[in-house]
Amino acid sequence: MKPPISASVSQEQFLTILSREEALARFEAALFPRDLVAEDRALADALGLVLAKDVVAAVDVPPFDRSNVDGFAVRSADLATAGESAPVSVVLNSETIACGTPPLITVNQGTATPIATGGPIPRGADAVVMVEHTQPAGHDAIEIRRAVAPGQFVSYAGSDIARGEVVLREGTLIGSRETGMLAACGVARISVVRKPRVAIVSTGDELIQPGQPLRPAGIFDTNGAIVAAAVAENGGDAHFLGAFPDDEEKLEGVMREALASSDMLILSGGTSKGEGDVSHRIVARLGQPGIIAHGVALKPGKPLCLAVCEGKPVVILPGFPTSAMFTFHDMIVPVLRRLASLPQRSDARVTAKVPVRIASELGRTEFVMVSLVEGDDGLIAYPTGKGSGAITSFSQADGFLKIDALAEQMPAGTATDVTLFTPHVRVPDLVIVGSHCTGLDLVTEPLVRRGMSVRSISVGSLGGLSAARRGECDLAPIHLLDEKTNTYNAPFLVDGLELVPGYRRMQGIVFRSGDRRFEGRSADEAVQAALNDPSCLMVNRNQGAGTRILIDRLLGGARPDGYWNQPRSHNAVAAAVAQNRADWGMTIAPVASAAGLGFIPVAEEHYDFALVTSRKERPAVHAFLDALASADVRKSLEQAGFQPA
Ligand code: AMP
Ligand code: MG
């Protein structure tokens, strides 16, 4: 069992933090050079593997002199005098050489043999005349009106690949072209580098495998799937063994068994130096030389632990999926590819400008995932990170930028290298930057169905307005209440932006159905009942949220218990109430109904779009505006609980 959390929770510190370069160098020095392990494979099973030995051709390719065209095998000397006005006539031999037919008759002076493309050149012939350049002359002769050079239309034996020649070198990655070359040489089995077998283990009491029901305080195991896929992408034979609780004894058994049957062991989670983090303690006793680095100056990814146990790499990735992925790609992929004898990755890069200042921790190499959009003069790299715990940053990101360990920030406007996740930049057709809403997906759906790419970057209403002002997006969804005029959105527009009415979202009080303090009451009555009950706990919203203004109005200066719990999204409020961490809060109707909560309507919030006028004529913007106005989209918005403007 995990020790109970007590006041004396010990937290060993990361005393020796290595730079990423130093950690990687030490890790590689402990693993390489090493002998590669080869295995014999049928050609058909060798795709994506690496040749362990040179392949030498045992035959000539082609194996015989071969005709390149349909025509007649001739003796070039017979046609030396042939010309437009001086046709030469030759007699046809009584065989026709098709592919796969060994010729029997010698081509003697004054004769020719019909031959198909790919047919073996008969004895005596030294050239081929194309059928198009001949004319029949009676039953068994042809006329030729042009001279031919010796060797015309003949591929000589061994001209493609000569017997004894090295066809493919050791270390070559077998793709379809290599497979073709080997097949041409008659090779059926080859010696390839055996894929390193990589055991993958997730650790954490909270982990649940996808497909299983989520229990309270549980989260789905993300790292297991992502690491297994990334291992396979980089030449490993991935074996995911499952997620195991932080139970030192049991986990040690799993790890020892996994290591014994694999070439490499990758764990995730439990790498911090807290009380419940047991994996690194187990790794320390798995074999020599043991832990090489625990604590690397990377962000995300500081608690990465690298070890070599009895010659095998053992890695503990940080628990947060984003951290796990970055450290995996930056520090583990180079080693895994070397183990698999694969060439190092050559990721595509582009230069882009960062639109906002990005703060960075001094002393750690920092990776920041970015979404690329097209600005007025080149690419713009929008940070998509929501902290190292966020997984969506991956799907929204096109790549990442790196902030040097010695820099404290990257100033707005810096042009920087972006390493792409895919080989090509995919600049989206439509860029939406601002406040996110589930209704937005309903509006963009018809565009996506028509093959347009839509990128929606969620930075809140004010962030969206700034992006729109800088011309970095087409549309900024906003829901900002101006308290002075009590109107939404319009007062916030500046020159160059225009307002496109979107839809309304009913805001209201959420509670668990059946709660007598709220059920069947008006908003004012419900809040009064909540305030009268000292055990009633609220959940608030962050300063700056439109919803917060409504809550403060309803509370009229009261500060009930829970007031300082201020999550940043509609969904977080619903989750807090649904999970009994709070009794009431304010959210929008569609979110309340999706969470199965009771709802008392309070006020309609206007969710509109600030359109960048200079981008108005773009086809994707037209398509968006058409979709927003279309009967279908309006209907689906209504069905989801929104009121189109
Ligand atoms: P740990 O390193 O074990 O302290 O975990 C740090 C954070 O990452 C915690 O919030 C864990 O719940 C989370 N985490 C750990 N392992 C996984 C995993 N396999 N999938 C998703 N999240 C994880
Ligand atoms: Mg854990």
Question: What domains can be seen in the chain, in order of their start residue?
Answer: 20-35+196-339 (3.40.980.10), 46-61+160-193 (3.90.105.10), 66-155 (2.170.190.11), 349-420 (2.40.340.10), 436-455+465-645 (3.40.190.290)
Predicted structure pTM score: 0.81
| pLDDT higher than threshold 90 for residue 457 | no
Atom 4 of ligand 1, nearest CA residue: 270
CA 274 – ligand 1 centroid, Å = 13
* Atom nearest to 270 CA in ligand 1: 3
Residue range 466-472: average pLDDT? 90
Q: Which of 295-299, 405-409, 535-539 has the highest mean pLDDT?
A: 535-539
Q: Residue 143 carries which DSSP code?
A: E
Residue range 508-526: average pLDDT? 97
Q: What is the Cα–Cα distance from 526 to 531, expressed in whole angstroms?
A: 9
User: 434, 467 in Cβ contact below 8 A?
Assistant: yes
User: 480, 494 in Cβ contact below 8 A?
Assistant: no
CA 317 – ligand 1 centroid, Å = 10
Closest CA to 381 of 403, 359, 409, 350: 350
Position 375 confidence tier, pLDDT thresholds 50, 70, 90: confident
DSSP string, 356-418: S-EE--TTSEEEEEEEEEEETTEEEEEE----TT-SHHHHH-SEEEEE-TT-SEE-TT-EEEE
| pLDDT higher than threshold 90 for residue 346 | no
Q: What is the Cα–Cα distance from 137 to 135, expressed in whole angstroms?
A: 6
Which amino acid does the sequence have at 20? R
| pLDDT higher than threshold 80 for residue 387 | no
Which amino acid does the sequence have at 462? L
The token duo for 606 is 């206007």
List, for residues 614-629, the tens digit of each pLDDT value: 999 999 999 999 999 9
List, for residues 101-131, the tens digit of each pLDDT value: 999 999 999 999 999 999 999 999 999 999 9
> What average pLDDT is seen over the chain?
92
Beta bridge mates, 192: 39, 51
| pLDDT higher than threshold 80 for residue 3 | no
Q: What is the Cα–Cα distance from 477 to 606, expressed in whole angstroms?
A: 10
Position 14 confidence tier, pLDDT thresholds 50, 70, 90: low
Residue with token string 């209504």: 638
Q: Specify the 3-state DSSP secondary structure of 624.
A: helix
List, for residues 63-99, the tens digit of each pLDDT value: 999 999 999 999 999 999 999 999 999 999 999 999 9
With a pLDDT cut of 70, the percent of the chain lying above it is 96
CA 227 – ligand 1 centroid, Å = 13
> Does ligand 1 lie within 6 Å of residue 321's CB atom?
yes
| pLDDT higher than threshold 70 for residue 581 | yes
- Test site for ligand 1: of 219, 241, 315, most ligand atoms within 8 A of the Cβ: 219
Q: What was the pLDDT predicted at 617?
A: 94
CA 303 – ligand 2 centroid, Å = 12
CA 387 – ligand 1 centroid, Å = 13
- Using the CB atoms, write b or e for 10-30: b if 16+ within 10 Å: eeeeeeebbbbeebbebbbeb
User: 106, 124 in Cβ contact below 8 A?
Assistant: yes
Q: Residue 43 carries which DSSP code?
A: G
* Atom nearest to 202 CA in ligand 1: 19
Q: What was the pLDDT predicted at 13?
A: 59
Q: Phi and psi at residue 548, in whole multiples of 5°? A: -60, -40
Looking at the CA of 269, name the nearest ligand: 1
> Does ligand 1 lie within 6 Å of residue 320's CB atom?
yes
List, for residues 182-199, the tens digit of each pLDDT value: 999 999 999 999 999 999
* Atom nearest to 222 CA in ligand 1: 20
> Does ligand 1 lie within 6 Å of residue 210's CB atom?
no
Q: Phi and psi at residue 612, in whole multiples of 5°? A: -80, 110
Q: Residue 330 carries which DSSP code?
A: I
CA 203 – ligand 1 centroid, Å = 8
With a pLDDT cut of 90, the percent of the chain lying above it is 81
> Does ligand 1 lie within 6 Å of residue 323's CB atom?
no
Q: Specify the 3-state DSSP secondary structure of 555.
A: helix
Q: What is the Cα–Cα distance from 573 to 586, expressed in whole angstroms?
A: 7
CA 324 – ligand 1 centroid, Å = 9
Q: What was the pLDDT predicted at 1?
A: 41
Closest CA to 478 of 468, 467, 464: 464
Q: What was the pLDDT predicted at 10?
A: 40
- Test site for ligand 1: of 14, 215, 268, most ligand atoms within 8 A of the Cβ: 268
User: 275, 9 in Cβ contact below 8 A?
Assistant: yes
Distances 319 to 92, 331, 388, 407 between C-alpha atoms, Å: 80, 16, 10, 26
DSSP string, 236-253: -EEEEEEEE-S-HHHHHH
Q: Phi and psi at residue 8, in whole multiples of 5°? A: -100, 25
- Using the CB atoms, write b or e for 71-105: b if 16+ within 10 Å: bbbbbbebbeebeeeebbebebbeeebeeeeebee
Position 7 confidence tier, pLDDT thresholds 50, 70, 90: very low
| Cβ atoms within 10 Å, residue 249 | 9
Beta bridge mates, 134: 144
Q: What was the pLDDT predicted at 438?
A: 85
Q: What was the pLDDT predicted at 390?
A: 63
Position 240 confidence tier, pLDDT thresholds 50, 70, 90: very high
Q: What was the pLDDT predicted at 392?
A: 65
List, for residues 415-430, the tens digit of each pLDDT value: 999 999 888 887 899 9
